[in-house]
Amino acid sequence: MNARQRILDGALELLRAEGGGKITLDAAARQAGVTKPGLMYHFATKDALMLGVVEYAADRWERRLLDYLGQPLETAAPHQRIRAYVRVSLTEEFDRADFAIFADALYRDALGAAWVRRFDPWLALPDDLPEAERGRLTAARLLADGYWTAAATGVFPVPERDRAQILAVADHLLNDEASR
């Protein structure tokens, strides 16, 4: 594992350890086992480090999405992209670090822009999609958003025994879409 990846993994561990708390350049360097100048070689500022963490997390999400999709993103229909997003959101494990990375984007435009750039191709729906289809796809996506948020934060978590039923409801929404 290279130093850059150790730094990014270490920053995620800091978020987990502090429950979505603060990352400083000093703390990230210590966590990764590098000097602060060594960290700053890769990430000159805290904002650069946080943007790197967002990109790192988005890469992980995108690999999972592409694995589930099983085809190039550019060739996938809207319901296939949303189905991949729903499946990953409802079947993968997420924690507070995942949520903290995502939530921090609310307060930092550059981080929000990075999430939008990475996920818009997955979640955007064509303007000419019939309203009923848009509604079903959006409902399935929001169901997945709610589940992964609850799972990642631990706030009002959904019992594990309910996950399969939630996935079945989402699949029903998406199957209706696929059959039209």
Q: Give 44-77 pLDDT, tens digit per residue.
A: 999 999 999 999 989 999 999 999 999 999 999 9
Q: Give 14-28 pLDDT, tens digit per residue.
A: 888 755 557 889 999
149/101 Cα distance (integer angstroms): 12
What pLDDT is recorded for position 177?
46
Close Cβ partners of 14 (under 8 Å, ≥ 6 residues apart)? 21, 22, 23, 27, 28, 31
What pLDDT is recorded for position 18?
53
Average pLDDT, the chain: 89
Provide the 10 A C-beta neighbour count for residue 116.
Answer: 12
Q: Which residue pairs, CB below 8 angstroms and at least 24 apart, start in 8-14? A: 8/52, 8/53, 8/56, 11/49, 11/52, 11/53, 12/53, 12/56, 12/57, 12/97, 12/101, 13/97
What pLDDT is recorded for position 179?
46
What pLDDT is recorded for position 17?
77
Query: Of 161, 123, 164, which is closest to residue 145 (Cα–Cα)?
Result: 123
What pLDDT is recorded for position 137?
97
Domains along the chain? 1-44 (1.10.10), 46-178 (1.10.357.10)
